[in-house]
Amino acid sequence: MPRPTRGPRKRTVPSRTRRDAPPSLGRRLLGHPFAKFLTVAALAVVCAALLVAALVLFNYDRQAARYDLSAVERLPRESTVTDATGTFLGYLHGENVGEPVPLDQVSPYFLKALVAREDSRFRRHHGIDHYGLVRAWLRNFREKRTVQGGSTLTMQLTRMTYGLSGRNMQRKLLEMAIARRIEKRYSKDEILGHYVNRVFLGTGMNGVEQAAQGYFGKTASELSLSESAMIAGVIRAPNGFSPFRNYDAALREMRSTLERMTKEGLVTRQEATAAASERPIVLPQERWMEILRREAKISERTHLLRLVEERVRELLPSLAGVGGLSIRTTFDSRLQAAAEAAVAARLDELEGSPGYPHPRFAEHGGGDPAYLQASAVVLENHSGAIRAMIGGRRFGHSEFNRATQSRRPMGSVFKPLVYGAAFERGLFPGMAVSDAAIAPGEIEWDRSGWSPQNADGVYGGMLPVETGLIQSRNTMTVRVGEHAGIGTVLAMMEHAGLGEAERAGPTPPLYIGTVGANVRDVTSAYSVFATGGIRHRPFYIESIADLDGTVLYQHEDANYRVLSPGAAWLTSKLLQKAVAEGGTGAGLRQMGFTAPAGGKTGTTNDYEDAWFVGYASRLSGGVWIGLDQPAKIMDGAYGGRIAVPVWHDLMTAAARIGYEFENLFDPGEVVSMELCRESGLLPRESCAKAGSVYVEEVPHDLIPRRFCDRH
């Protein structure tokens, strides 16, 4: 059989697979080493951003966990503040919130108006409306100012419950973290119920029930659509949109709220149009104010109550805005009244002096006070409990607390700390120090060539160290400070509680008190001279209990050693001489104060600040007098002349009340021994030949163990 013939062989070309195709431009770019680097870098940035975001969220979630969520359920009530004896001092959070109303007793119109106005996505988010936040931030960016906040009702409830204030990212993130926790614990209706009973609606009205009663004389369940929209419109600016104060603005916000309700489908267009044409009748504001006066528990605001309020917010942040607390303070209302009377009487006397150059307290007509101010603190040496505090002459004129917030140059009241530091480093009161002017280059580490003057403009020769403190000699104090060393003095300053007042750099003027501090801290620093060197941190809240009597906070003494017993005693000996004849505070004895005491005056340049800080066995007290805008008080306004009398009146009143003043601190064994006047060490025969041997009363813990190395 013949074989079949084959036709011409067809050459087939294999088709290219995708693998064999030439790479596209995009693939070639992606394969480029630089592109790979950019991709890896971008992924690294994204991962780092996610890690940072996770850490931030973790941090704020941890902070949020400190807040007691049950506070959301507790309506604000007044907190009672008492002094150390149980005497009533005043109320905090004294608003009259009335009785809460269940959600089913609130007009449905108001609930719809509230959601439309404040949080249209309330039922759809979990505490944070991310869409609303982005929208608010974009608008704020376009407007270059804060126009929208993006806060949900839950976030607003958080802010109201815990007293969170301020417009910053830290506060906002914390608010969000707490809001998320609230949403997990409470249902939407529960959150709404807590909100409508707590929200501030202007003129002392807290909650919708009070607003309905105050504005319209009806219950929350009886509110009409227009009335509901008007009240909801008040929330963002309770004073600016108040129907009492600005009816036209309230009407505008009412109509705006009705429009929002229509857009959200909560009311029909016909209902909204009819309500927008109404002009709700608002009752007179005087009627509501009379109800407040009759029912509210409101105290006159004072520096003390403001201080307590701020401290409670620090100690119990989750309860600060809720109230209902019993706060026992360390203040003694009897001594506080005496302090206020002493300041008023002594400053009135100064303002009555012939040629007094400043506005007087009695002439104050408003604005920031330009009259003479004072601050004072009295505290217990062995506990730190503050018994009296004057923050200014009238809280209603100025809420600024000059006893805790002011930073004024201490002047010579700082010098005892310099001497105490030097006594720790081997100096003794009887040693010799030059009172001559500071020579150029004498302070080796100073490049400014600074040289202070003495207050009397006179320089002396070699004088006992104690003279420098008793008579407040600047040049001697600088040399005493140099004996201790500027680093030691700075450490002493901070250890005594003054380091937080102002972080001072190592400059020679610090030795004579150019650094600023407040009266509370300086007074606390002086208490170490009465206690043998122990400082008890100052405090003014003894305990806090809730409505059930459960103690939520109890003060615990925090004390530590600042000076050795011997150095504290040596300094105290000189401060006792400073208030005796020949000292700068001699006026204290001349006025008839006889109890054992020590203290130091201070007067800054051109009589701008006048100080006296002193102590007896039980109490220490500090007084500052000056003008808020530093200026010369008057000619001759020395601390010894104008501050000492206030201190005298304070401590005399304390003794009259029953505070006993006994002998001051005794260090125990004190040895009378010979020392070298130049080195403060045990003398050699060569010291006697040089005529530098003298006898010093030396506390046992400061007895030198080495012989003089100068003779």
User: ∠ CA(39), CA(43), CA(49), 5° rounding?
Assistant: 145
Q: How far apart are CA 350 and CA 342, in angstroms?
A: 12
Residue 551, Ramachandran bin (φ over 0: left; ψ between -120 and 50: alpha; else beta): beta
Q: How far apart are CA 38 and CA 17, in angstroms?
A: 30
**Integer CA distances (angstroms), 508 to 263, 421, 479, 495, 513, in order:** 71, 15, 10, 19, 10
> Mean per-residue pLDDT for 314-328?
83
Helix, strand, or coil here: 583?
coil
Q: How far apart are CA 670 and CA 155, in angstroms?
A: 66
Q: How many domains, in total, are found in the chain?
A: 3
pLDDT at residue 403 is higher than 50: yes
Residues 6+ apart with CB under 8 A from 35: 29
In a domain, 212, yes or no: yes
681 and 649 together in one domain = no
Q: CB–CB of 336/304 below 8 Å?
A: yes
Q: CB–CB of 666/700 below 8 Å?
A: no
Q: Which tens digit of pLDDT belongs to each residue from 505-556?
A: 789 999 999 999 999 999 999 999 999 999 999 999 999 998 889 999 999 9
Q: Is residue 248 classed exposed, middle or buried when 0-12, 13-18 and 19+ CB atoms within 10 A define those classes?
A: exposed
In a domain, 549, yes or no: yes
CATH number of the CATH domain containing 600: 3.40.710.10
Number of helices (H), then strands (E), in the chain: 25, 18
505 and 581 together in one domain = yes
635 and 675 together in one domain = no
Q: Which stretches of 348-395 are assigned E, i.e. beta strand?
A: 373-380, 386-390
Q: CB–CB of 675/696 below 8 Å?
A: yes
The helix-helix angle for 225-234 and 108-118 (nearest 10°) equals 40
Identify the residue whose tokens are 């001072």.
504
Q: Which pLDDT does position 134 carry in this prediction?
A: 67
Q: Which pLDDT does position 56 carry in this prediction?
A: 58
Which range, 90-94, 129-133, 146-150, 699-703, has the best average confidence (pLDDT)? 699-703
> Mean per-residue pLDDT for 94-111?
83
DSSP string, 23-60: PPHHHHHHTSHHHHHHHHHHHHHHHHHHHHHHHHHHHH
Question: What are the structure tokens assigned to 666, written together?
Answer: 């005794």
204 or 435: which leads in pLDDT:
435
Q: Helices (DSSP H) in 540-684: which residue ranges?
A: 565-578, 587-590, 639-642, 644-657
676 and 616 together in one domain = no
Residue 285, Ramachandran bin (φ over 0: left; ψ between -120 and 50: alpha; else beta): alpha
Q: How far apart are CA 667 and CA 409, in angstroms?
A: 32
631 or 133: which leads in pLDDT:
631
475 and 563 together in one domain = yes
Q: Which pLDDT does position 2 carry in this prediction?
A: 47
Over pLDDT 70: what percentage of the chain?
A: 86
In a domain, 246, yes or no: yes
Count the Cβ atoms, other than its own, within 10 Å of residue 14. 6
The helix-helix angle for 247-263 and 269-276 (nearest 10°) equals 180
CATH number of the CATH domain containing 197: 1.10.3810.10
560 and 674 together in one domain = no
Q: How far apart are CA 323 and CA 74, in angstroms?
A: 9
User: Residue 291 CA to chain centroid, in angstroms?
Assistant: 35
Q: Which tens digit of pLDDT belongs to each residue from 158-202?
A: 988 887 776 677 778 888 889 899 999 999 999 999 999 989 998
pLDDT at residue 605 is higher than 70: yes
Q: CB–CB of 641/587 below 8 Å?
A: yes
**Which residue, among 105, 118, 146, 135, has the nearest Cα to 257 in the 3D structure?**
118
Type of residue at 441: G
Q: How confident is the model at residue 279 (pLDDT cuts 50, 70, 90)?
A: very high
Summary mean pLDDT of the chain: 89
Question: What are the structure tokens assigned to 672, written together?
Answer: 């009378």
Q: How far apart are CA 521 and CA 196, in angstroms?
A: 44
pLDDT at residue 4 is higher than 70: no
Query: pTM above the 0.85 mark?
Result: no
Q: Which pLDDT does position 366 carry in this prediction?
A: 86
> Mean per-residue pLDDT for 211-237?
96
110 and 191 together in one domain = yes
Count the Cβ atoms, other than its own, within 10 Å of residue 606. 12
**Rounded to a whole number, what is the distance in angstroms from the first to the last CA of the chain?**
143
What residues pair up with 614 in beta bridges, in sequence order?
599, 621
Q: How far apart are CA 697 and CA 707, in angstroms?
A: 17
What residues pair up with 77 in beta bridges, in sequence order?
323
Q: How far apart are CA 231 and CA 220, in angstroms?
A: 11
Q: Which pLDDT does position 46 carry in this prediction?
A: 66
Range of the domain at 239: 96-295
pLDDT at residue 3 is higher than 90: no
Residues 6+ apart with CB under 8 A from 205: 211, 214, 215, 288
Q: How confident is the model at residue 635 (pLDDT cuts 50, 70, 90)?
A: very high
Q: Which pLDDT does position 503 carry in this prediction?
A: 60
In a domain, 40, yes or no: no
In a domain, 213, yes or no: yes
441 and 525 together in one domain = yes
Q: How far apart are CA 56 and CA 50, in angstroms?
A: 10
697 and 625 together in one domain = no
pLDDT at residue 110 is higher than 70: yes
pLDDT at residue 16 is higher than 50: no
Domain boundary residue among 295, 325, 351?
295
Query: Taking the alpha carbons of 269, 270, 272, 276 in that order, is the dihedral positive or negative?
Result: positive
> Mean per-residue pLDDT for 614-619?
98
pLDDT at residue 408 is higher than 60: yes
Q: How far apart are CA 610 and CA 344, in angstroms?
A: 16
pLDDT at residue 504 is higher than 50: yes
Domain boundary residue among 262, 295, 328?
295
pLDDT at residue 54 is higher than 80: no
631 and 513 together in one domain = yes
Q: Which pLDDT does position 37 carry in this prediction?
A: 64
In a domain, 13, yes or no: no
Among the listed ranges 35-39, 324-328, 577-581, 648-652, which one has the minimum average pLDDT value?
A: 35-39
Type of residue at 256: S
User: ∠ CA(250), CA(251), CA(254), 5° rounding?
Assistant: 85
Q: CB–CB of 407/626 below 8 Å?
A: no
Helix, strand, or coil here: 437?
coil
pLDDT at residue 145 is higher than 80: no
136 and 173 together in one domain = yes
pLDDT at residue 676 is higher than 90: yes
DSSP string, 114-159: HHHHH-TTTTTSSS--HHHHHHHHHHHHHHTS-------HHHHHHH
Q: Which pLDDT does position 8 carry in this prediction?
A: 47
**Integer CA distances (angstroms), 532 to 85, 496, 509, 665, 683, in order:** 28, 13, 28, 6, 28
In a domain, 17, yes or no: no
Domain boundary residue among 295, 310, 330?
295
Type of residue at 615: Y
Kindly provide the b/e burial profile for residues 383-398, where b requires at least 16 CB atoms within 10 angstroms of the residue's own CB.
bbbbbbbbbbbebebb
> Mean per-residue pLDDT for 461-487?
96
**Integer CA distances (angstroms), 487 to 403, 415, 473, 510, 603, in order:** 28, 15, 21, 11, 25
The number of residues making up the chain comes to: 711
Helix, strand, or coil here: 620?
strand
Q: Which pLDDT does position 98 carry in this prediction?
A: 66
Q: How confident is the model at residue 24 (pLDDT cuts 50, 70, 90)?
A: low
Compute the chain's Rg from CA coordinates.
36
In a domain, 108, yes or no: yes
Identify the residue whose tokens are 């009887």.
430
Among the listed ranges 162-166, 262-266, 290-294, 323-327, which one has the minimum average pLDDT value?
A: 162-166
What residues pair up with 408 in beta bridges, in sequence order?
517
Over pLDDT 90: what percentage of the chain?
A: 71
Report which secondary-structure segment, H or E, holds 624: strand 619-626
687 and 601 together in one domain = no
> Mean per-residue pLDDT for 290-302?
77
Q: How far apart are CA 709 and CA 171, in angstroms?
A: 62
Q: Which pLDDT does position 65 carry in this prediction?
A: 83
**Integer CA distances (angstroms), 589 to 580, 581, 601, in order:** 6, 8, 14
Question: What are the structure tokens assigned to 455, written together?
Answer: 């207050």
Query: Taking the alpha carbons of 397, 403, 404, 406 in that order, is the dihedral positive or negative?
Result: positive
323 or 284: which leads in pLDDT:
284
